[in-house]
Amino acid sequence: MASLDDAGVYKLTDELAIIQTIDFFTPIVDDPYTFGQITAANALSDVYAMGGKPLTAMNVVCFPTKSLNISVLNDILRGGIDKMREAGVTLIGGHSIDDVELKYGLSVMGTVHPQQLVTNSGAKVGDKLILTKPLGTGIINTGVKAGVVDEETINKVEKCMATLNQKASELMQEIGVHACTDITGFGFLGHTVQLAQNSQVGINIRLASVPFFPEAEEFAKQRLCPAGLHRNREFYSSAIKFADGVPSHMQDILFDPQTSGGLLICLDGRKAELLLDRLRQAGVTDGTLIGDVAGEPRGMVSVK
Ligand code: CO
Ligand code: CO
Ligand code: CO
């Protein structure tokens, strides 16, 4: 399989391939139950991005038994299991060790028909791009650590991160798309550059259409940025052209590493409105048309 795709794929028969992925990290929110939910939604997302159906999962746990009460772990695992239940995924095992720093994640297995596999290398000239969740969760989480985010915003952002990409994935499979990836640690632009490079196309992004949390703009203006944001900018800048007048705080939002971000879906331009309608009907109300695919310059992303 192509490098830099969302998960590993292994073909068992002409009709069946398995998708395998693993994701785990240190806590990104204060509430253990919510952390469990978000982690599970994030781990399942790579299977959804590839057009697969997640079936089973295994827990990965590193827990500091000396410094934290075991009830914290129980709450995390409960959050994960509830999210897996919502996704129709069965937890079949796992492994835990004592560690100085808490980490939780999941290894997920899903299936896909080999011909229905969706990768980040299939974008075609004339395609349109749809993003299904707003950006800015990394910047807002940095604000939470700094103690400057109100309760209402925290709840809104946590709810977004805990939302499965299941519906968006099922709808894109029904309609038929050319490429997809989920927006996570490399930020919106990092994953979009990977899509452009793996598909050998140019991608145009219309900044005014890109959905983001308004609070993220406020914090980005105050330079509240996670370290990963700067790494993403350094790593991907050479493949990105910003039009004059794109403010630097808006560039920050586009580079912001996301946890459990939305799907970036690339499909025939004539099908874009249909998918947007279906997404809205299914409650994926943040789904937005944000750009299109051009022939040149290959492997480059332009933002205007
Ligand atoms: Co991914
Ligand atoms: Co992943
Ligand atoms: Co074991």
Residue 43 alpha carbon to ligand 1 centre in Å: 8
For residue 5, report the distance from its CA to the centre of ligand 2, in Å.
9
Question: What distance in Å separates the CA atoms of residue 247 and residue 232, rounded to the nearest whole number?
Answer: 17
CB-based neighbours (< 5 A) of ligand 1, an ion: 6, 46, 182
Tokens for 40, please give them: 């599970």
Query: For residue 53, which of 108, 120, 133 has the smallest C-alpha distance?
Result: 108
CA of 245 to the centre of ligand 1 (A): 30
Q: Measured at the alpha carbon of residue 251, what is the angle toward residues 214 and 45, in degrees to the nearest 5?
A: 70
Strands 240-242 and 202-205: unpaired
Helices 187-199/227-236 angle, 10° precision: 30
Of the bound ligands, which one is closest to the alpha carbon of residue 183?
Answer: 1
Q: What residues are neighbours of ligand 2 (ion), with CB under 5 Å?
A: 23, 46
Q: Give 184 Cα–ligand 3 centroid separation in angstroms.
A: 28
pLDDT for res 2: 43
Q: What are phi and psi of 53, to 5 degrees?
A: -115, 115
Longest dimension (CA), the chain: 58
Task: Return the bridge partners of 303, or none.
Answer: 205, 242
pLDDT tens-place values along the chain, 304 residues long: 444 578 999 999 999 999 999 999 999 899 999 999 999 999 999 999 999 999 999 999 999 999 999 999 999 999 999 999 999 999 999 999 999 999 999 999 999 999 999 999 999 999 999 999 999 999 999 999 999 999 999 999 999 999 999 999 999 999 999 999 999 999 999 999 999 999 999 999 999 999 999 999 999 999 999 999 999 999 999 999 999 999 999 999 999 999 999 999 999 999 999 999 999 999 999 999 999 999 999 999 999 9
Residue 185, Ramachandran bin (φ over 0: left; ψ between -120 and 50: alpha; else beta): alpha
H/E element holding 108?
Answer: strand 103-112
C-alpha–C-alpha distance, residues 42 and 161, integer Å? 8
**Considering every ligand atom, which ligand is closest to the CA of 97?**
3
